């Protein structure tokens, strides 16, 4: 297995023609490549399901593509599984595997592409598909302790609005259940943390920290306490209703998700949004990114108990929230994006106020960064803590600032430009140490870059409309993507004959990075655990949907 071991530098572009030729040469009749539409640049239809693991390994390791995710759809006559890969600079590659509805087992690609591990577990829990060769299925989204076997809630026959007290879903904790622990030592035990987080205010996460007393040997996360089946609720709803869902399942990155969703719908409708709307979207997305990163910096300072820095960063974040509210009418930028553009326009005075607020925020962050660099007690707790080396980051397909701190300078705004980003100038920060301090530096740099992008967006604004009406094409499907603050997010939409949503799939960056978190973090001291969590800055709600 050849590995392109070095992290992908953004200038390395993968040519699709060369890739198609290589695939055809190697796999011949097993794969039928074709030009893609609906968002993907290249589609590869698998004629033989057995060649799937080898093809995925070839794409991921030999050709250097990154892994996007797995989209499982239960159509009227067959299953369709799409394995999405990204060829840097060229676009998305969709590897499509079709199975008859009666067939239940799929060859697992987790042994080759480790980043697919959780996607396959999710599909098994929600759809009941068995992935041959996956080492551990089950007890993922539907916790074995309370859910009985054999429940596959995303399958078609289920109704989405089920009475909560229906007997079929009655659940009681299973007294025989035991967690699957890894450390085999007679004196080892697993300390439970959560789901009502003992550290104050936190999201509903559950960890089992396996230890023999001194260091934590392994952290076993049990997520999906916040699973609300957003993808299932979306089925049968209109596009504007699903837009509300897309905004609200992960509110701290709500604009990015609504942007990806809107781009997907616009791709279905083949619509070009007005130029002013493009620039406004960039402005709002970068505003959200700046605010989100400030929140992450606040979280890191809080976790290391540097109280003054945490307070100052929290003030900056609150100022940005207030600026967002003053500018757009909602602190978290709800209700602005819509397929076809932006729902409202802004006056010059609004831009002026926003720029003032952003500049103040950026200046405060710069002062903060300058002083944190010289606070040795703070750096001591961040350096060499939670290290993810570049090879592991590549292996586990980390995205976003976490990936960039470990040498993976991937950014959808640069590699697969969307929404007008190809005309903007900005740097992608990249560090190689992969420790907590590298992640913090990446956050600061990106915040600065976002402020620069906001300035550029305002300068490029020309008077014009901000909305073009969008006519929904029935039976369309498309992929939409955006670089959310935490990383790359993909939204896939398939509409049925009457224009309602038949399948809505959201692949979120937190889902990717949580897999990387638990596999990359081993052997740490108890007191470093909240710090590692804070430096990763992951969102449980975005992962759980």
Partner 1 sequence: MLTWTGGALGLFFIFCGCGLLLSAAARGKYPMRVLVVCSTICSILMMLAAVAALATGRSFETHLWNLEGLGRFTLRLDMLSAIFLFAAGLVYLPASLFVRNFVEVRFGGRYPARRYAVLHFALMASVVLILTASDAPLFLISWECMSILCYFLMNYEQSPRTDTRAGYIMLGMSEAGFLAVVVAFLILGRGSSDWSFSALTAAASHLSTGAVWGVFLLGFLGFGVKAGLVPVNFWLPRCYTAAPSIFVPVLAGVTLNLGFYGILRLNTDLISSRGLGTGLFALIAGSITALVGILYATTENDMKKMLAHSSIENAGIVVAAIGASLVFRASGYAVPAAIALTAALYHMINHSVYKTLLFQGVGDIEAATGTREMDRLGGLAHFLPALSVVFLVGCLSIAAIPPFNGFVSEWLTLQCLLRSAVLLSPAVKILFALCGACLALTAALAVTCFVKVYSMSFLGIRRGKWRPRGRQKGTWPQFPLAYLAIACLLLGVLPTYVIPVLNRAVEPLVGASASSSLVPPFFTATPANQQLPPAFLEDFHNLGAQTGSSALPGRGLVVLTRGSEQNPVIFAMSPSYSVVALAIFLFATWIIVVRSTRKRSVVRKELWAGGIPRLLPEMTYTATGFSNPVRVVFQAIFRPNIVEDTRETVAVHFRTAILRRRDETHLVDRLFLHPVGEAASWFATLLARMHHGRLNAYVAYTLAFLIIILLLFRIS
Partner 2 sequence: MSFWFWHGLKKGVRTTRYPRGRESAWGVSPGRPVTTEFGSSEDASRAAANCPVDAIIARGSSACVELERCIYCQRCHFGSSHVLEWKPDYEWTMVASGREKCEPLPDAYRRSLHVIVVDAGDCGACLHEVKQLNNPLYNMHRLGFFFTATPRTADVLLVVGPVSENMRVPLVKTYEAMPDPKRVLAVGTCAITGGVFGRTFMSAGGVASVLPVDLEVPGDPPPPLAVLHGLLVVTGRKPPVPRDSLLERSL
Question: Binding to partner 2 (CB under 8 A): which residues in 317-346?
Answer: 317-318, 321-326, 329-332, 334-336, 338, 343-344
155 binds partner 2 (CB under 8 A): no
Nearest distance in Å: CB 404, partner 1: 21
418 in contact with partner 2 (CB under 8 A): no
What is the C-alpha to C-alpha distance for residues 337 and 244, in angstroms, rounded to an integer?
A: 10
- Least Å distance, CB 202 to partner 1, is 11
Q: Which of 10, 192, 197, 275 touches partner 2 by CB under 8 A?
A: 197
**Is there a contact between 258 and 239 (Cβ–Cβ < 8 Å)?**
no
CB-based burial of residue 32 (10 Å sphere; 0-12 exposed, 13-18 middle, 19+ buried)? middle
Is residue 196 within the footprint of partner 2 (CB under 8 A)?
Answer: yes
Cα 324–chain centre separation: 23
Smaller CB distance to partner 1: residue 58 or 61?
A: 61
Tokens of 191: 């300390």
Smallest distance, partner 2 to C-beta of residue 229, A: 4
- Of 76-84, 87-95, 236-244, 412-420, which part binds partner 2 (CB under 8 A)? 236-244
**Bridge partner residues of 507 (DSSP):** 490
- For residues 524 and 381, is the Cβ–Cβ distance under 8 A? no
> Which 450-509 positions form the footprint of partner 2 (CB under 8 A)?
467
At its nearest, how many Å lie between partner 1 and the CB of residue 54?
A: 15
For partner 2, which is the closer residue by CB, 228 or 392?
A: 228
Longest CA span, the chain: 71
Considering only residues 2, 170, 176, 201, which one is a binding residue for partner 2 as defined by CB under 8 A? 201
Q: Which is nearer to partner 1, 270 or 522 (CB)?
A: 522
Q: Does 312 bind partner 2 (CB under 8 A)?
A: yes
- State the minimum distance, in angstroms, from the CB of residue 350 to partner 2: 11
- CA angle, residues 419, 45, 116, in degrees to nearest 5: 70
In this chain, which stretch among 197-205, 264-272, 445-453, 520-528 interacts with partner 2, using CB under 8 A?
197-205
Q: Which does 244 bind (CB under 5 to 8 A by kind): partner 2, partner 1, none?
A: partner 2
* Alpha-carbon distance values, 457 to 235, 277, 279, 486 (Å): 36, 11, 5, 21
> Please, what is the Cα angle at 76 between 75 and 82, to 5 degrees?
15
Q: How far is the CB of 382 from partner 2 (least distance, A)?
A: 16
Task: Give me the least distance between CB of 251 and partner 2, in Å please.
Answer: 3
Name beta bridge partners: 336. none
162 binds partner 2 per the rule CB under 8 A: yes
Q: How many CA atoms lie within 13 A of 132 on its CB side?
A: 9
The half-sphere exposure of 147 on its side-chain side, counting CA atoms within 13 A, is 16
Tell me if 200 contacts partner 2 by CB under 8 A.
yes
How many CB atoms within 10 Å of residue 176?
5
How many residues would you count in the chain? Answer: 545
Nearest distance in Å: CB 188, partner 1: 7
Q: What contacts 152, CB < 8 A, 6 or more positions away? A: 125, 126, 127, 128, 158
Shortest CB 227 distance to partner 2, Å: 6
Q: Between 18 and 182, name the residue whose CB sits nearer to partner 1.
A: 182
179 or 452: whose CB is closer to partner 1?
A: 179
Pick from 22, 45, 99, 204 the residue near partner 2 by CB under 8 A: 204
Q: CA–CA distance from 143 to each of 102, 108, 122, 167, 204 (Å)?
A: 26, 22, 12, 18, 14
CB of 365 to partner 2, least distance (A): 14
109-to-33, 132, 295, 391 alpha-carbon distances in Å: 19, 9, 36, 19
Per partner kind, with CB cut-offs from 5 to 8 A, the member of partner 2, partner 1, none near residue 343 is partner 2
> Residues 38, 110, 252, 508: which binds partner 2 (CB under 8 A)?
252
Q: Which is nearer to partner 1, 226 or 366 (CB)?
A: 226
How far apart (Å, rounded) are the C-alpha atoms in residues 26 and 263? 35
Binding site for partner 1 (CB under 8 A): 110-111, 114, 117, 135-136, 145-146, 173, 175, 178-179, 181-198, 206, 208, 210-214, 217-218, 395-396, 519
Q: How far is CA 340 from the centre of its chain?
A: 24
In 102-176, the DSSP E strands lie at 105-107, 130-132
Q: Which stretch binds partner 2 (CB under 8 A): 15-23, 39-47, 273-281, 301-309?
A: 301-309
């Amino acid at each position: 297995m050849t590995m392109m071991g070095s992290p992908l530098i953004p200038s390395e572009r993968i040519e699709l023609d060369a890739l198609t030729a290589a695939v055809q040469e190697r796999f011949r009749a097993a794969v039928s490549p074709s030009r893609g539409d609906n968002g993907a640049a290249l589609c590869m239809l698998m004629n033989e399901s057995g060649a799937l693991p080898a093809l995925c390994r070839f794409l991921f390791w030999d050709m250097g593509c990154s892994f996007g995710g797995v989209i499982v759809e239960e159509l009227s006559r067959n299953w369709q599984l799409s394995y999405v890969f990204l060829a840097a600079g060229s676009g998305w590659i969709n590897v499509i595997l079709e199975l008859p509805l009666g067939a239940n087992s799929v060859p697992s690609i987790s042994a080759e592409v480790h980043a697919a591990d959780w996607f396959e577990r999710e599909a098994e829990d929600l759809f009941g598909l068995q992935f041959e060769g996956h080492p551990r299925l089950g007890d993922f989204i539907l916790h074995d302790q309370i859910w009985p076997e054999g429940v596959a809630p995303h399958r078609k026959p289920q109704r989405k609005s089920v009475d909560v007290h229906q007997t079929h879903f009655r659940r009681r904790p299973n007294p025989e259940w035991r967690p699957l622990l890894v450390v085999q030592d007679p004196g080892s035990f697993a300390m439970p943390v959560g789901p009502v987080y003992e550290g104050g205010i936190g999201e509903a996460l559950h960890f089992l920290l396996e230890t023999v007393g001194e260091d934590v040997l392994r952290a076993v996360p049990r997520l999906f306490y916040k699973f609300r089946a957003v993808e299932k609720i979306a089925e049968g709803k209109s596009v504007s209703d699903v837009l509300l869902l897309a905004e609200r399942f992960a509110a701290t990155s709500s604009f990015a998700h609504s942007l990806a969703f809107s781009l997907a719908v616009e791709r279905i409708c083949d619509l070009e949004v007005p130029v002013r709307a493009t620039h406004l979207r960039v402005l709002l997305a970068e505003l959200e990114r700046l605010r989100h990163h400030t929140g992450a910096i606040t979280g890191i300072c809080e976790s290391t108990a540097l109280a003054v820095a945490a307070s100052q960063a929290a003030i900056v974040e609150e100022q940005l929230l207030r600026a967002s509210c003053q500018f757009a009418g909602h602190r978290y930028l709800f209700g602005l994006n819509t397929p076809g553009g932006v729902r409202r326009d802004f006056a010059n005075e609004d831009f002026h106020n926003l720029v003032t607020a952003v500049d103040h925020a950026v200046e405060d962050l710069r002062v903060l960064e300058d002083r944190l660099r010289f606070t040795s007690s703070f750096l001591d707790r961040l350096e060499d803590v939670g290290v993810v080396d570049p090879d592991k980051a590549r292996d586990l397909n980390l995205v976003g600032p976490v990936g960039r701190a470990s040498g993976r300078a991937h950014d959808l705004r640069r590699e697969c430009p969307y929404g007008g980003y190809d005309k903007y100038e900005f740097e992608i920060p990249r560090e190689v140490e992969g420790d907590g301090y590298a992640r913090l530096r990446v956050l600061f740099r990106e915040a600065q870059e976002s402020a620069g992008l906001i300035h550029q967006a305002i300068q490029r604004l020309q008077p014009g409309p901000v909305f073009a009406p969008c006519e929904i094409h029935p039976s369309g499907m498309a992929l939409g993507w955006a670089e959310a603050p935490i990383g790359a997010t993909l939204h896939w939409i398939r509409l049925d004959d009457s224009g309602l949503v038949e399948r809505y799939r959201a692949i979120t960056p937190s889902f990717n990075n949580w897999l990387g978190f638990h596999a990359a973090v081993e052997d740490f001291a108890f007191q470093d655990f909240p710090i590692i969590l804070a430096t990763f800055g992951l969102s449980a709600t975005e992962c759980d949907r």
